[in-house]
Every structure is written in C-alpha cells, then in structure tokens.
Amino acid sequence: MNTIISKVKKINPLILSGLLFIFILVLISSLLIIAPTHRGMTKKYATHSKNIILFLFMLQIIIGIGEILLILLKFNFKKENFLFRYFLSFGAGCVVLSQLVFILSFFHILIFSHLILPVILFIFLLPLLLLFWRDFNSYLWNNLSQSNSFTLYLKKSLYFLPLLPLVFSLILVFAPPIAWDAQTYHLAIPKKFLADGGISFFPLNIYSNMPFNMNLLYTFAMGIGGEELVRLLCGFISLMLILGFGAIAKLEFGDEKGGWLAGLIFLASPVILYGANEVLVDVQMAFFVILAVWTFLRWLEEQKLLWILLCGIFCGFISACKYTGIYIPIAIFLIGIFLSQKEKRKEILLIPLFAILFLLPWFLKNYLLTGNPIYPLLYNVFDGRDWTSQMYAFLIDWQKNIGMGRSFVDYLLLPLRVFFMSDEGYQYFAGKLSALPLIFFIFSFAIENKRKRWLLIGISIISFCEWAYGSQQVRFLIPTIVIFALSGAIGLTSILKKSKKSDVLIFLLLLLILPITIISNLENFKIIKESLPYILGRQSKDTYLTNHIWSYSAFKFIEKNTPKNEKVLFIFENFGYYCPREYFADGMFEASYLIDLASKEKTTEGLKNEIRKQFNVNLILVNTNILKMIEEGIKSRERSPFKNPENIKNYIEGFNIIKMFIDTECEKIFEFQGSVVYKIIY
C-alpha cells in the first residue's frame, strides 16, 4: 500500500485532479443512464445530478467573489495557509453575494432567468478561479506528500468521525423541505421576491420584515435551481462549519483533534443536526460565527487591520441575519475591549460599525414598506403596517413566557435547565439540546493561551446572558453553543496532550461520544428513513409532501378547483410555500392579526365584513390540528402562551369569535388530515 501511495505522489497534481474530475463526470453520467425499468429513479437521479452541478457552479461564483474581497483587503495569499484562505473566501463570498442580491432586490432588477446573472458573474470571475484552484492543487498534494505511510493516512482519517452523523443526514438535502419555518419564511420569502422581481411587502408575515441576510443567499440559490439547490447550500454551509472546527483548532491552537471533538459535541443536540440540512438559518449562521471568532483571534495575535476588518464584515453579516444575530458581535466587542492593547482599542469599534452598516439597508427597507425601521419592535414609537398595540403586547408577553421562568432563581438555574431539560414545547425552550456542550465547557479554563482562553469563555458567557434576557428558544442559542463546544474541546485536548498516549485518549473519547451523538439524534435519522423512498425515486413528490405536510392535499385541491387569480386566507395555518395561489397567513399565531381583528369586531358578521374589505377573499383554509393545539394551550396555565390576564382575555375572546365565524359564516368544501377548505358565505 505504501508503494502505491508513493507512486501516486509522483504524478502531476493537475493530472490527478483532472482524472478525479473526469471520474465525477462519469459517475454522474452513469446515474443518468439507468435501465428504462427504473424511470422514476432515473428522473430523480437526473434532477439530483443537475442540481449538484448547478451547486458546484454556484460555489465557484461564491469563492470567486470572496477572492476579490480578499484582494481588495490586501490578503497575503503567499504567506497565509490555503486552508484559512478557502474558508475566508467562501465566507466572504457569501457575505458579498447576499449584499448584491439585496441591491438587485431593492431596485427590482433580479435577473435569474436562463442563468443570465450567474453566467455573467462566472465569466467575470474565471481568471481568479483558475488561480484559486491552482493553489488548491498545490496545497492538496503538498499535504499528501508529507505523509509517508498508509497507517498515517488511516490515523488522520479516523479523526473525521464527527462528519459521520452529519454526512449521513445530508442525504436529506435531496428531499423537499418540510421544516415549519422554511415553509413560512425561509423559502416563502425568496419565492415571493423572485415572483415579484425584488423586495416586496408580505402581508401579515411579521417575520418577513426582519433582517434576513441568509435568506438572500437562498434567493440566489432558488433563482438558479429551485428549493433543492437551497437545501444543498444549507447542507454545505453546515459541512463547512464542522470542517471549520478542525481548521481553527489546527491553525490557531496547534491540533485539529480538538476541533473534531468540538464538532461531535456540537452535533449531539437534535435541534442542531435537524437544522444542519433543513432550510433554516441558525446552524448556517454559526459558520460565520466561527469565521468572526477566527479572524478576531488573528487580530489579537498580529494586530493587523485586515483581520479586524474581516471580523467586522462577518459580525455585520451575522447581525443582519436576524435580530438575535447581534448577540455574538456584542460579545466579541465587549470582551475584545478588555483583551486588546490600549492603542488598538479604537479598531475594535469597527465591529459595531459594521453591524450598523449591515443593518441599515434593512432598516431602510422596513421604513419604506412598513413605516417602522426596526419592525415589529418599538411599536409605541414607530407604529407599523399590519401591526397593532395588542399584537405587540401579545408578542412581548409570549416571548417572555418561553422557558421555565424569569425570576432570579430561574436565571441561576437556566444553564442546567436548558442543557439538561430542554425539549419540544415553549415551556421547555422549544427544542432538544444535548448536555455535552455545557459539560465540556468546564474544560475551557484549561486552554493554554490566556488571551484566547478568555476570549472564548467571555464570548460564551456574554452571548448566553444576552440570549437568557431575550427569547429563550434553543435555536437562538446555537451560535453560542458553537463557542461552548469549541472552547471546551480545545481545553480538554490541552489537558490530554500532556499524556504520552494523548492520540489514543482523544480517539477513544471520540468513539465514546459518537454513539451518544447518534442515539440522541435517532428521531432525525427516522426522518431520513422516511425520505429515502422519495430520494430513490420510489415515491412521488406529491405523496411525500402529503405524508409530511397537513395542508398539502388542500393546496392540491385549491390548485385543481380554483382560478389562478383566486386568493386564500389562512386561519391557524402559515405553511405557505407550497400554496399555488396568492395567500394571506399570520406569520405567528401567538401575535395573530386575525385574532386581534376578531376581538375588536366582537361579532362574526363584523369579522366577515372586515375580511372581505381587507383581503377580498372567498376561500379560507383552516388547519384544525393547530386550532386544537392552540385551544388546549390557552385552556392550560402551564401551556398558555401568555401570563398577562388582559392578553389572555383578549386572545380567548378573539379565538372564540373566529371559531364561531368558521362554524356559522363558512361552508366546508374540502377536508383532509385536519386541513379544511371553506367558502365564505357572503
């Protein structure tokens, strides 16, 4: 085996890369040439293969754009490690591309038909890409030449164990997206932007008026190749995040094994592995957190303006992914002030400056569309379209009611509760976390480099406190868990490295944590099993979506039995992405526009007249599954979304009027899986 490896090394790297590229093309082509008896499978493979090629095409555009930014910032390509350059190019490319899409969307000049814009970008970037892949060849084969035995290759490959659960779950990127928020926001918003040719107002969808830089990347991907390409992008960013653990551990702490341990600890939480391959934003945003911390570490060591500029750019991008994205930049800024040299502290101001610069376009967009620059916040100051004082009161009450309490004792117990007791349901933080990040975080204090140690610990503690004060949903904590996992794993490997058998001990630790990660994610792996028939071409898309989405059959009924200009009002339903008609759906049930409207109108007749006046619809779609869940919640003190008696009273009043409206003013015309289509009786 060693003889074979030594002979392979003697071959020109470009020839080997070419052979590898040809092999991939042959593999993809072979998937397209399958016996006619497997037509369904052939069609699926053809679609998947096409989207893989489109994704690789999109990846080149992202990297090329990132290379331009690095050139403008005078990045030293010869001196810096290529691995570092690759992560920076991909991350920077995503940042710049998102802003390009925003500009095109803002001026309503999105051009995606026939790949016009992507092809123009690719041609423009081609010379830079050729240089990039030339350097990649040199880096790859130089690293291979440093290993002289098959045993060493095997030893290094074993440390990629953290990738196993993620790579296995990434098969889901070839299935239609079914996540709740994906259908309500992260896919529905790009779909509307592309249909309208740019940024437009999304009636009743409150969250569509919050910052969403990540959704701009999804808009670009959807414009090129549809929803599957968006899932490929989400999965790839998640893969880059796990690889980033190893890279930052190797280049900043001297040993990649701590990074692989961090990756496995991070993936042990079911809410994280689920979000890694779905069209969501929290796990994907965590990749840019790694880049922000990485570049700040470099700035602490070298004090070069380049690194704080890159850190500011990544912090700005994170800040404008969602309002809670500001947690990490604030934490980096605050702890950075204490760790930096006095004469360099002015440079740290670039972090909040970039955060503001990246948020300003969203503030402008919100002001023009809603009248409130930070919609839906500060209603008493700015007001806002499709937003009322009662809805704002609902929202604040609900957000403060998530979790297990807000007393002083509750805050003291919060770290233990969220990592050991979290589960589905808002009273349990709305998602399942593993306890491993908190357990391993204790070892953070063993990190040898003092400034790096306190940077990671400081970011973890400050951002956790910010999260604790806000909405205590575990998804919003994911960017912080990245730092928990990284700092704890680096600290533990620092301790183990003192032993002569450190490699063996770390490998055994990986083997111990791997089954824990797999067992904790069994529910996620069940989703993979359920998706395989579709992915392998044995099940149609309609059947798959009917099995996973309550209202999909109702959407198909509406598509077949209504004119294309028909509008539909959703009640207790906001899964709108697959709806074939224009629709109006509350973005969130806890701050429902319709419930507020009903409580003000007091009668079913008044509600019907307002619905006709404001929405001009004949059809309503009601998800009785969600209706029953809300009904059970408002009747239970433990599961009630509110604490304020006035909010509870108004909500129940509006809820009951809506139920009466459905029973007395509407005629049922379709029902399946609890999803009911009614015709309003005017």
pLDDT of residue 4 exceeding 70 = no
74 dihedral zone (left: phi>0; alpha: psi -120 to 50; beta):
left
pLDDT of residue 40 exceeding 80 = no
142 and 196 in contact (C-beta within 8 Å)?
Answer: no
Rg of the chain in Å (alpha carbons): 26
Residue 105 to residue 111: CA distance in whole angstroms: 10
Residue 70 to residue 64: CA distance in whole angstroms: 10
Domains present along the chain, CATH in parentheses = 2-525 (no CATH), 545-680 (3.40.50)
pLDDT at 153: 54
pLDDT per residue as tens digits for the range 620-671 = 999 998 888 888 877 766 566 788 888 888 888 999 999 999 999 999 999 9
pLDDT at 355: 93
pLDDT of residue 280 exceeding 80 = yes
641 and 590 in contact (C-beta within 8 Å)?
Answer: yes
Cβ-Cβ contacts under 8 Å for 9 (sequence gap 6 or more): 141, 144, 145
- 25-29, 102-106, 133-137, 316-320: least confident range: 25-29
Query: What average pLDDT does range 585-610 have in this prediction?
Result: 87
Write down the residue that tokens 């551990």 correspond to.
249
Residue 423 to residue 413: CA distance in whole angstroms: 16
Query: What average pLDDT does range 506-533 have in this prediction?
Result: 88
493 and 258 in contact (C-beta within 8 Å)?
Answer: yes
Residue 553 to residue 13: CA distance in whole angstroms: 53
φ, ψ (nearest 5 deg) of residue 111: -125, 95
- 34-38, 579-583, 649-653: least confident range: 34-38
Query: What average pLDDT does range 281-286 have in this prediction?
Result: 94
Question: What band does 8 get if pLDDT is binned at 50, 70 and 90?
Answer: very low
Cis peptide upstream of residue 376 (ω within 30 degrees of 0): yes
Residue 111 to residue 291: CA distance in whole angstroms: 30
What percent of the chain stands above pLDDT 90?
A: 46
Among 122-136, 139-153, 574-588, which range has the highest average pLDDT?
A: 574-588
Query: Taken in order 502, 507, 511, 517, is the CA torsion positive or negative?
Result: positive
pLDDT at 345: 82
Residue 656 to residue 631: CA distance in whole angstroms: 9
Residue 3 to residue 5: CA distance in whole angstroms: 5
SS (H, E, C) 25-89: HHHHHHHHCCCHHHHHHHHHHHHHHHHHHHHHHHHHHHHHHHHHHHHHCCCCCCCCCHHHHHHHH
Question: What band does 139 get if pLDDT is binned at 50, 70 and 90?
Answer: low
pLDDT of residue 7 exceeding 80 = no
Closest of 224, 32, 1 to residue 114, by C-alpha: 224
Beta bridge partners of 582: 567
**pTM for the complete prediction?**
0.89
Closest of 402, 376, 407 to residue 389, by C-alpha: 376
**Can you say how many angstroms the Cα of residue 324 is from the centroid of all Cα atoms in its chain?**
13
φ, ψ (nearest 5 deg) of residue 670: -160, 145
- How does DSSP assign 85-132, residue by residue? HHHHHHHHHHHHHHHHHHHHHHTT----GGGHHHHHHHHHHHHHHHHH
- 12-21, 69-78, 119-128, 420-429: least confident range: 12-21
Residue 612 to residue 203: CA distance in whole angstroms: 15
pLDDT at 152: 55
Cβ burial of 211 (10 Å; 0-12, 13-18, 19+) is buried
* Mean pLDDT score of the chain: 85
DSSP code of residue 551: T
| Residue 76: C-alpha distances to residues 67, 73, 306 (Å) | 11, 9, 10
